[in-house]
Amino acid sequence: MVIYEPAGKAKEYCDLALNLYAGCAHGCIYCYAPKIQYKTREQFQLASPRKDIIRLVAKEAPAYAGKEVHLCFTCDPYQPLEDAFHITRQTLEIFTAHNIRARILSKGGERMLKDVNKMKKNNSIVGATLTFVSEEDSKKYEPGAASQAYRMFALKELKQAGLETWVSLEPIIDPLQTLEIIHLTHRYVDTYKVGRWNHDLESEKINWKKTALNIIEVLKKYNKNYYIKKDLAVFLS
């Protein structure tokens, strides 16, 4: 089955998910996917469409009518390969035909805008991972992804097109920059999902309780919908 029920932390984002590509060219150094797929980061960056993925999505889609499916957890649906293969675009068409709503998460920036009409027909929920305000930091941690500015621009355009938008503030690497992201984007983002930085010793230097409280305070100030993931919420108990 290519459409599946995620487990653990991933299930906090959506009850169903679909990974369209094998690997991801963005090369984010905090990404957990290479490890769980037993690949080096270099191997994982040599991405390709999953074998027979469109045929398999079309075969499975009728069983998920009326559901919402997350795109994607172990790859980016709008990584550069999408320009050549249009796998995400074809998936949106299949989803729309079977009344499946896509919940999209990408660092692809303006690449997402090429499918805005497909997203509108699907009534997709479209989001971006935002980690920094500093482009220098972004290039260090997410070397192949679109710039933060382009991701924000895409979200603004998608919101103006009438789509529901969201942001994944995960991982939080620099709490002050995370707060600044909210200040910069709150006018065109509907929902924020917030999670801590894991699997890095540097993350232990962050006061997670203070960070969570500060983020919640700002989100409440702007009257934003938000979800604090369990790995961060535990610091508030």
pLDDT tens digits along 151-165: 999 999 999 999 999
Mean pLDDT, residues 179-183? 98
**Predicted confidence band of residue 47 (pLDDT cuts 50, 70, 90):** very high
Q: Could you give the CA distance from residue 194 to residue 206 in angstroms, rounded to a whole number?
A: 15
* Residue 79 pLDDT exceeds 90: yes
Chain-centre distance of CA 56, in angstroms? 23
Which helix (H) or strand (E) segment is 43 a member of? helix 41-45
Query: Cis omega before residue 72 (within 30°)?
Result: yes
Confidence of residue 98 (pLDDT cuts 50, 70, 90): very high
- Please say whether the beta carbons of 135 and 91 come within 8 A: no
Q: pLDDT tens, 187-205?
A: 999 999 999 998 888 899 9
pLDDT confidence of residue 107: 98
- How confident is residue 60, by pLDDT bands cut at 50, 70 and 90? very high
Task: Please answer whether residues 181 and 214 qualify as being in contact, where contact means their C-beta atoms are separated by less than 8 angstroms.
Answer: no
% of the chain with per-residue pLDDT over 70? 100
Is residue 7 pLDDT above 90, yes or no?
A: no
- pLDDT-wise least confident of 3-7, 146-150, 198-202, 220-224: 198-202
Decide if pLDDT at 135 tops 90.
yes
Give the C-alpha separation, 177 to 149, whole Å: 13
Q: Is the Cβ–Cβ distance between 192 and 182 less than 8 Å?
A: yes
pLDDT at residue 205 in the model: 94
